[in-house]
Amino acid sequence: MRKYNAIDSINKFIVYMIFIFISFCVLYPLVFVVSAAFSPGNGIASVNIVPFADGFTVKHFLKLFTQTDYPKWFMNTLKIAIATSAITILISSLSAYVFSRFKFSFKKPMLMSLLILQIFPSFVGMVAIYVILLRIGGLDTLWGLVLVYVAGNIPYNTWMVKSYMDTISKNLDEAARIDGASHFRIFSQIIFPVAKPIITFLGITSFTAPWMDYIFPKMVLRSPENQTLALGLFGFVSDKKNEFTTFAAGSLIVAIPFIIFFILSQKTMITSFGGAAVKE
């Protein structure tokens, strides 16, 4: 028995070593960003290789809010994210309900095409999207970008919500129908609330995606007052200039809410991921 314990503690020691090594790799760039955000230098070359060795300053944060359009980028991105999330939820859940509960012609080919369309990266058709937006006056507007995002979100999300709704018992809507409820009432007052877990998930994923998308904002938004965060932050570390510390400060402000949210919701994510895989 004692011998067994010895092996066990050696194992534990090895696992600890591995975990500490991985943690070091994971944390190194993150700690570096935090220290760069507060260090007085400007470019990546001037940042000390030992984190926090250069001293402490908040001047990059002040610069972001006084000398750049950072607040504006932030608001634009927030507006885009909220609109994308809300419209995606509305359209996807409604069509998912129709796919889940009604029989109609062309249902199978439509479902099949949803799944095939979802693998096609939407920016491959960017020339066409550019011309279409040009024709409907959506270039250089936030709503044009929202339209593009929503359309890209619909195929996969509709499929996902539909799979979830298939697992909701049909007795629920039968009963409501006998009581004389209309289709829309059944959807909005019975199915939608029951499908809340998947719809929350959908809302969160479609809310987070626009924050860091780069290609479509680059293509659609031209004027400086319509920029988004990703465009602005990328501008700090483009080939022409390297303001790594300002970039780090700006990134920190965006990343911190994300990180807090992820850490708080990790338990829920583990179960929902497991559920999603098992439901196959």
Partner 1 sequence: MKTILLKDGSQEKKIEKFACCFMGLSHLLFLKDYVKGLFFALTEIVFLIFLPSIIKMLINLVTLGSPMPNVPIKQRDNSIFMLIDGIIILAVVAIFVIVYLLSVKSAKSDYKEYCRTGKYKSTKESFSLVAGKSFPILGLAPAVVMICLFVIVPLLFSVCVAFTNYSSPSHIPPNNTVDWVGLQNFVELFGSEATWASGFARVAIWTLVWALAATVTCYFGGLIVAVMLKESKIKIAPFFRVIFILPYAVPSVVSMLVWKNLLNGSFGPINRTLIQLGWIKDIIPWLSSPGLAQVVCVLVNLWAGFSYFMLLTMGTMTAVSQDLFEAARIDGASKFQVLRYITLPLVLYQTMPLIIMSFTHNINNFGAIFFLTGGNPTVADSTTTMAGGTDILVTWIYKLTITLLKYNYASVIAVVIFIVLAPFAIFNFRRTKAYKEGEV
The interface with partner 1 within residues 128-167 (CB under 8 A) comprises: 128-129, 131-132, 135, 147-148, 150-152, 154-155, 158, 163, 166
- Cβ pair 129, 152 in contact under 8 A: no
- For partner 1, which stretch binds (CB under 8 A), given 59-67, 69-77, 103-111, 192-200? 103-111
Q: Residue 1 interacts with partner 1 (CB under 8 A)? A: no
Selected binder of partner 1 within 52, 63, 78, 117 (CB under 8 A): 117
Report the sign of the C-alpha dihedral through residues 215, 219, 224, 227, in that order. negative
Q: Residue 204 interacts with partner 1 (CB under 8 A)? A: no
Q: Residue 191 interacts with partner 1 (CB under 8 A)? A: no
For 81, list phi and psi in degrees, rounded to 5.
-65, -45
CB of 2 to partner 1, least distance (A): 18
- For partner 1, which stretch binds (CB under 8 A), given 52-60, 61-69, 192-200, 210-218? 210-218
The interface with partner 1 within residues 16-75 (CB under 8 A) comprises: 16, 18-19, 22-23, 25-27, 29-30, 32-33, 43-45, 47, 49
Q: Give the residue with the Cβ less far from partner 1, 148 or 198.
A: 148
- Cβ pair 31, 51 in contact under 8 A: yes
Selected binder of partner 1 within 6, 7, 116, 178 (CB under 8 A): 116
- Cβ pair 135, 206 in contact under 8 A: no
CB of 278 to partner 1, least distance (A): 5
Q: Residue 172 interacts with partner 1 (CB under 8 A)? A: no
Selected binder of partner 1 within 105, 169, 171, 223 (CB under 8 A): 105
* Number of residues located near partner 1, criterion CB under 8 A: 100
Q: Residue 10 interacts with partner 1 (CB under 8 A)? A: no
CB of 116 to partner 1, least distance (A): 5
x/- letters, 214..233, toward partner 1 (CB under 8 A): xx--------------x--x
Q: Give the residue with the Cβ less far from partner 1, 97 or 226.
A: 97
